[in-house]
Chain A
Amino acid sequence: MNASSKSESFLLNNGISRFFEDIGNNVILLYQTLRYFPLAPTQLKRIVEQCYLMGLSTIPIVAILSFFIGAVLALQTGFVLSQLGAVEFIGAIVGLSMCREMAPVMVAFLLAGRVGSAVTAELASMKVYSEVDALKVMNVPAEKILVMPRLVAALLIMPILNIIATTIGWMGGMLVSKFINFIQLAPHIYWRNLKDFTVFPDIIDGTIKAEVFGFAVVLIACNQGLVTTGGPREIGSSVTKSVVTSMVFILLTDFFITRAQL
């Protein structure tokens, strides 16, 4: 084995061990935090604060993106369906795509970029500047006051964000269907078709996905923040790693959840 392949092998082994170490750290943090879930009512103030930060700050961007995703979805499918003379099916396509797939994945991505990065930066900064050590010395577990309220807030806020994203996406699809000249589908036909194909279990499936993604994004963000050591440069690296890991997790899990739901 020459020096180059030895070095490649070392990097691969190092990467693999780091991957499993990350998973292990996340599982340990989850286990340690689950113990404090029954204490959620005592942390109501922090949970409400996190709901505000996660929800209110994310709603505008969720609204804008979901509107245009719904609109583009209607535009793309409308172009093909108009040639087949089946434009009325735009409602079904936009309806199902938004609620089962696009809304939960998009909201989770936004949560990772908007909230996950902020959570990692905040906790990493607390870790690097010994604030987490100070909590430990005071016998106040970081899992109880930093992680649990964020996870509970994610569970509470994700269904709401998901419903908002789904509804606005449907609206975007409806407006495009009505006003684009090669589609020109009447809104009542769009909604009727959407309601015919999109049933309540579809909404539930989408909400389950959103809950799983949101919980994982916040857990990954908290873990990445709390394992940070070093200085300002490492805080930046942790934020990047948190967002990238969350996105990879979302896409991988999405496949398996979708497979299980179908």
Chain B
Amino acid sequence: MSKSLTSEQPTVSNKDINVKVDNVSIQFGAQSVVKDVSFEVKPGEVFAIMGASGAGKSVLLRSIIGLIKPTSGKIWIAGKDAAIPRTHQSLRSTIVFQAGALFNSMDVFDNLAFYPREHHLHPESKIREKVLEVLKMLSLQDAAYKIPAELSGGMRKRVAIARALVMEPQLLLYDEPTSELDPIMAATISEIIATLRKETMATSIVVTHDRDLANSIADRIALIHKGRLLAVQTPEELNNNPDPIVQDFLNPDINVDNPRYKNL
């Protein structure tokens, strides 16, 4: 996908798309979900955020895309405040939601064509050409005229990625892209993410608790535990990290005699 998919030119170039999370805390009422987290994602990098369920990964991802405003701290995308809608209008940023968030009233084709149509990026014939190109790239041609309810879990994920791709994103966020998928489909999605990184050069942030995905495609991994950042390291460094919490997350023992839920 080397040629440009959209004619609308963002004001920020791909090589400037870094994400800086600066002492971010997020609270919902009395519940503190993200606690003073800081890290930086470099332009063009695939950055994975790992952590147990409920650790605050998805909330952090949503605040990067501007859907949730941090309670304190700032998130900067290419030097601009991520909480301001104008920041996301000056570049092409998008998110692949965990459940896809496909428009259920539209078929797959219309889901993909929605963004360029709404922003009048191309004539209808060219939009059709672009959408079919992306569908072919993700082997989804046969699903073009199905509605989301007719798709399997893996297909929904691929359609959600395809919809994000039609936007030709500079910053692409994935929320649990391999959750609820069989190992083969999870591997397929991992390969798609890695291929897209090569072809689009988009900065990617992947929230996951899939160790295989993070180890195989991420340049660096951030590990979040109970809202706090525990480590930001390359996959090799993280695997060799002696911290017992890190090791417990990466290589959990299943102890039937002393189950961990009884020690919570």
**Chain A residues engaging chain B, CB cutoff 8 angstroms:** 125-126, 129-131, 133-134, 136-140, 145
17 contacts between A and B (CB under 8 A): A125-B104, A126-B103, A130-B97, A130-B101, A131-B101, A134-B102, A136-B66, A137-B66, A137-B67, A137-B93, A137-B94, A138-B115, A138-B167, A139-B85, A139-B88, A140-B115, A140-B119
Mark out the residues of chain B between 52 and 75 whose CB falls within 8 Å of any chain A CB in the assembled complex: 62, 65-67
Q: Which residues of B contact A138 (CB under 8 A)?
A: 94, 114-115, 118, 167
Asked whether, in the complex, the Cβ of A131 is within 8 Å of the Cβ of B167, the reply is: no
**Closest chain B residue to A130, Cβ basis:** B101
A139 to B67, CA, bound (A): 12
A104 to chain B, nearest CB (A): 31
CB neighbors of A among B79-102 (8 A):
85, 88-89, 93-95, 97, 99, 101-102
Q: Which residue of B lies closest to A136 (CB)?
A: B67
Q: Can you name the residue of chain A whose Cβ is closest to the Cβ of B105?
A: A122
**Neighbouring A residues of B99 by C-beta, 8 Å:** 129-130
* Residues on the B chain within 8 Å of A130, using CB: 97, 99, 101
Residue of B nearest to A138 (CB): B115
Q: Given the interface contacts A137-B88, A138-B114, does A129 sit within 8 Å of B101 by beta carbon?
A: yes
CB neighbours (8 Å) of B66 from chain A are: 136-137
The reply to whether A140 and B118 form a contact with Cβ atoms under 8 Å apart is yes
The minimal Cβ–Cβ distance linking A49 to chain B, given in whole angstroms, is 10
A139 touches B101 (CB 8 A): no
| B residues in contact (CB < 8 Å) with A | 62, 65-67, 85, 88-89, 93-95, 97, 99, 101-104, 114-115, 118-119, 167
Known interface pairs A129-B99, A134-B103, A139-B85; 8 further A-B residue pairs with C-beta atoms within 8 A, sorted by A's residue number: A126-B104, A131-B103, A134-B97, A134-B101, A136-B66, A137-B66, A137-B94, A145-B118
Q: Across the interface, do A137 and B95 meet the contact criterion of CB distance under 8 Å?
A: yes
Contacting residues, chain A, for B119 (C-beta < 8 A): 139-140
Q: In the complex the two chains form, what is the Cα distance from A179 to B101 in whole Å?
A: 58
The answer to whether residues A129 and B104 also contact, given A137-B67, A137-B95, A138-B167 and a CB cut-off of 8 A, is: yes
CA distance A136 to B85 in the complex (A): 9
| Separation of A145 and B101 alpha carbons in the complex (Å) | 17
Q: Hey, which chain A residues are within 8 Å of B114, CB to CB? A: 138, 140
Q: How far is the CA of A125 from the CA of B104 in the complex (A)?
A: 10
Min C-beta distance of A152 to chain B, whole Å:
18
> Complex formed: what's the CA distance from A189 to B120 in Å?
60
Q: How far is the CB of A22 from chain B (nearest CB, A)?
A: 20
* A188–B94 CA distance with the chains assembled, in angstroms: 68
Closest chain B CB from A144 CB (angstroms): 9
Q: Are B101 and A133 in contact (CB under 8 A)?
A: yes
Inter-chain contacts of A137 with B (CB < 8 A): 65-67, 88, 93-95
Task: Kindly list chain B residues whose C-beta atoms are within 8 Å of the C-beta of A129.
Answer: 99, 101, 104
Report chain A residues within 8 Å CB of B118: 138, 140, 145
**What is the distance, in angstroms, from B256's C-beta to the closest C-beta of chain A?**
33
Write the chain A residue with the least CB distance to B93.
Answer: A137
Q: Which of B67, B93, B115, B167 contacts A133 (CB 8 A)?
A: B67
